[in-house]
Every structure is written in structure tokens, then in C-alpha cells.
């Protein structure tokens, strides 16, 4: 059990049977009445964010999540299959637990799985991934009325906006947090 004095960003707590990560917290001591802690909590499974206030000293159940280094193998249509790089055990993860990370997963990519017991709760991608462009329109010189960018489909299936000079077959670096183009990768 943890009290409000143990709160810190990234702490995972169990509220009403659901796991939440503390995104933000603030201790408040008003002139009248008792102190309290204002928090923003993010649901680990759904990603939903909610505001919650706790009385100072209130106890909550803290949860330890394990990070497991795995390699993505394939998506069989109903589940994503990962392999533990230490034990070579296969781990099956439901698409709702993979979430938006599925847009940037390609076979043999190494990622971190957030585990609670034997259940996978989420996937942590590297901040930047290098992916090859499989489809994009050719850029027309002088066509900058659209802001100088065009859509490009990556090998993982994600679509990102890239500058006009980027062409099919080129490898680019993408920020997985925002889904934006960062730079062209030099061979």
C-alpha cells in the first residue's frame, strides 16, 4: 500500500480494479480544511485520462509492472505475437492492448512489453523507428501550396506526412510519440 506522500509521476496504482498511471500530481494545502492531492491518472489499458482528488494521507494500492524485452514476430489477424528474447517463449497480445503502437510494428522489431503477472498490458516502442516508404506520390517541383508535404505509406502500414523530395523505397526516421516524419536515413 502507498499513501499520497508516495505519489510520483509514473507510479501505477489500482483503483476500483483498474490500473492507472499517475501522469501529474500536486499537493494542495488550502487556508481552510485539510490538505489534499490533485492528480491526473491515465488508464493503462484504455489510455483514458481522468482527474481525481485524494485526501492527504489516503492509502491506495500500488502495482509493480514488469518490463519484458521482446521481439515482434507477426500479427495472426486476431492477436500480436511477441517472443521473449531471454526464454524464447511466445507471448500473445490482444490488439486493444497493443493500441496505436501497431501502426509502427514490423517483424523482428525489438520493443518492451508492460506485464502485470502473466498478462501483457501494453507495448512501449522506441522513441524513433526507421521504416521504408512503400508508397507515395512523386513530388512536383514548385508545388508548395500544400505546405511542401505529401502522404507516404510505410512498410508497417502507417501513413505519415513527408517532404516532397522523399520518394518510394527510401528509409525515414519517424517519431512514434507523434507519428511525424523526423529525417531521411542515410545509407
pLDDT digits (tens, 9 = 90+) for 74-89: 998 899 999 999 999 9
Q: Do domains 66-124 and 128-184 have the same CATH topology?
A: yes
For 8, what's the count of Cα atoms within 13 Å in the CB-facing half-sphere? 2
Long-range contacts from 73-81, C-beta under 8 angstroms, 24+ separation: 73/107, 73/108, 74/107, 75/102, 75/105, 80/105
Q: Locate the domains of the chain by residue range.
A: 2-62, 66-124, 128-184
Q: What is the mean pLDDT of residues 129-141?
A: 86
CB 129 within 8 A of CB 176: yes
pLDDT of 132 over the 90 cut: yes
Neighbours of 133 (CB within 10 A): 20
Choosing among 2.40.50.140, 3.40.630.30, 1.10.287.3510, 3.90.1640.10, the CATH entry for 66-124 is 2.40.50.140
Architecture (CATH level 2) of domain 2-62: Roll (2.30)
- Tell me the percentage of the chain whose pLDDT exceeds 90: 39
Give residue 145's pLDDT. 55
pTM of the model: 0.71
Superfamily of domain 128-184: Nucleic acid-binding proteins (2.40.50.140)
Rounded to an integer, what distance in angstroms lies between the CA atom of residue 54 and that of residue 41?
12
pLDDT of 172 over the 90 cut: yes
User: CA 177 → CA 12, 61, 92, 100, 137, distances in Å?
Assistant: 20, 29, 24, 10, 25
Q: What is the mean pLDDT of residues 125-148?
A: 79
Classify each residue of 58-96 as buried b or exposed e, where b means 16 or more C-beta atoms within 10 Å of its C-beta.
Answer: eebeebebeebebebeeeeeeebebbeeeeeeebebeee
Amino acid at each position: 500500500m502507498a499513501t499520497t506522500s508516495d505519489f510520483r509521476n509514473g507510479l501505477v496504482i489500482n483503483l476500483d480494479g483498474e490500473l492507472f498511471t499517475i501522469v501529474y500530481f500536486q499537493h494542495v494545502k488550502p487556508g481552510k480544511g485539510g490538505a489534499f492531492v490533485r492528480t491526473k491518472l491515465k488508464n493503462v489499458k484504455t489510455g483514458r485520462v481522468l482527474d481525481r482528488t485524494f485526501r492527504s494521507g489516503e492509502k491506495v494500492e500500488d502495482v509493480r509492472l514488469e518490463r519484458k524485452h521482446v521481439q515482434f514476430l507477426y500479427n495472426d489477424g486476431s492477436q500480436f505475437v511477441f517472443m521473449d528474447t531471454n526464454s524464447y517463449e511466445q507471448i500473445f497480445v490482444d490488439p486493444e492492448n497493443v493500441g496505436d503502437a501497431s501502426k509502427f510494428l514490423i517483424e523482428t522489431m525489438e520493443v518492451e512489453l508492460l506485464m502485470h503477472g502473466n498478462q501483457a498490458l501494453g507495448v512501449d516502442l522506441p522513441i524513433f523507428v526507421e521504416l521504408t516508404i512503400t508508397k507515395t506520390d512523386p513530388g512536383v517541383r514548385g508545388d508548395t501550396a500544400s505546405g511542401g508535404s505529401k502522404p507516404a505509406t510505410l512498410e508497417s502500414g502507417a501513413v505519415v506526412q513527408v517532404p516532397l523530395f522523399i520518394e518510394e523505397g527510401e528509409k525515414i526516421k519517424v517519431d512514434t510519440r507523434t507519428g511525424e516524419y523526423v529525417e531521411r536515413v542515410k545509407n
